[in-house]
Structure 1
């Protein structure tokens, strides 16, 4: 009887370990999954109207800051790897958007980072300008973090700032949808993927006792996801099938 109990306990531990591993893998790569259908849609249609590159700005800033937050307060390695994967995903989205914009451009005039024109901030023509901006932001963040690494208040503030940016992830898309009165390029399925991912992510934060900043961020993201879902349903309800 005791032997059977030990075997059952080992099986449960093995199952829990496997579930934990799967959850960690889903956390690392799950955030990037909703962007795959959007990437494919932009490739297919050669139209970026349904995607706001401001989303890339928000996620890049948030995840760069989160990496430095990890240096000051080492939480789960899974969340660090998630940030690296998300940064690479955003660069892939930006590269595609730049390619599509350049292929569709009628005017030969280009907007570059070196023009120092705030009107065209984050609307540059070359992908290299986005890389250069992120490199400069990373250097400034690194120097500041190294100088103030011993300050607990700074580290906590850095974490709060990182997740605040991430919590505002869907806001640029929300505003763009409202401004255009359209959710072209988006689908209910896509937004449901976002929402499901954020619900899973928030649950993961709570269960793994991640820093409070993370689950607060996740809760805000869920609310924004629901607002975007309502936009998709509202704007698409105005569409009528064309006759003839």
Structure 2
């Protein structure tokens, strides 16, 4: 037990701090080398940037674990680089305003939903950076100029729960897509295993660490873990159905090859 506790106490923080780099470095290099963002969603940097910025400002009121603060700051830097590379290498015009939004494409198409003012689907790169600047500027203004609000328990808890809730929603588009198509095509077992391993590491640290870990981290971590486990259930159900159907005759036009593509990189 001593070895396990020491591994969690020292290994888990290192895992959390380096996770933004290990998760997104390959994606950044891949886009930069191929000069193409086909299959990558700009919603991913949006979700992670909003969540991480809110978590940084949440620290000024909650003073939670330094490891989690460093992770949030690192994530902001990595996601800004990823956003810059993705914007510089967007597909040619004609692919949904030059941007593919894979995770939410099914939501957009099914109900005819259009984002107000084409939010985060802008053709120019400038509005993306302006939105981030205004968001960070507004939070900084409240933190420095309006201390009665910034120091209130309601505002502090609001920052924490909003930031963590936004991050926890990242698996939902994949779950919805699998449910509607009754298929997990393009979803790799190795990716699922990495997500669940990360959830186990995070939750072990959240519940066993001697550092200050607010309950908002634990609740949102549990929600994300449940979502990832449900993705595993979907994979088991739909893959089992595919294997059972494999014995049936196939036409000459059908193929066994399935393109594998990650839509969430965390």
The answer for unaligned runs of 5 or more in structure 2 is 100-114, 244-253, 258-266
More helix by share: 1
TM-score by length of 2: 0.68
SS of 1:213's equivalent?
helix
Aligned to 1:91: 80
Kept in 2, the 8 Å contact 1:62–1:165? The answer is: yes
Aligned to 1:67: 56
* 1:41 positional shift: 5.4
1:136 matches 2:153 = no
Kept in 1, the 8 Å contact 2:35–2:89? The answer is: no
TM-score by length of 1: 0.73
The answer for unaligned runs of 5 or more in structure 1 is 1-11, 112-116
Q: CA RMSD in A?
A: 3.5
Q: Which moved more, 1:90-99 or 1:174-183?
A: 174-183
Aligned to 2:38: 48
How many residues of Structure 1 are paired with residues of Structure 2 in the alignment?
A: 222
* 1:136 positional shift: 0.6
- C-alpha separation between the residues in 1 aligned to 2:216 and 2:59? 12
State which of 100, 105, 120 in structure 1 corresponds to 2:93.
105
Q: Which moved more, 1:54-63 or 1:141-150?
A: 141-150
- Cα–Cα, structure 1 residues 229 and 97, in superposed 2: closer, same or farther, change >3 Å? farther
* 1:39 positional shift: 4.4
Kept in 2, the 8 Å contact 1:62–1:166? The answer is: yes
SS of 2:90's equivalent?
helix
Matches within 5 A, 1:102-181: 102=91, 104-106=92-94, 118-146=116-144, 147=146, 148-175=149-176
Kept in 2, the 8 Å contact 1:159–1:213? The answer is: yes
* 1:37 positional shift: 4.6
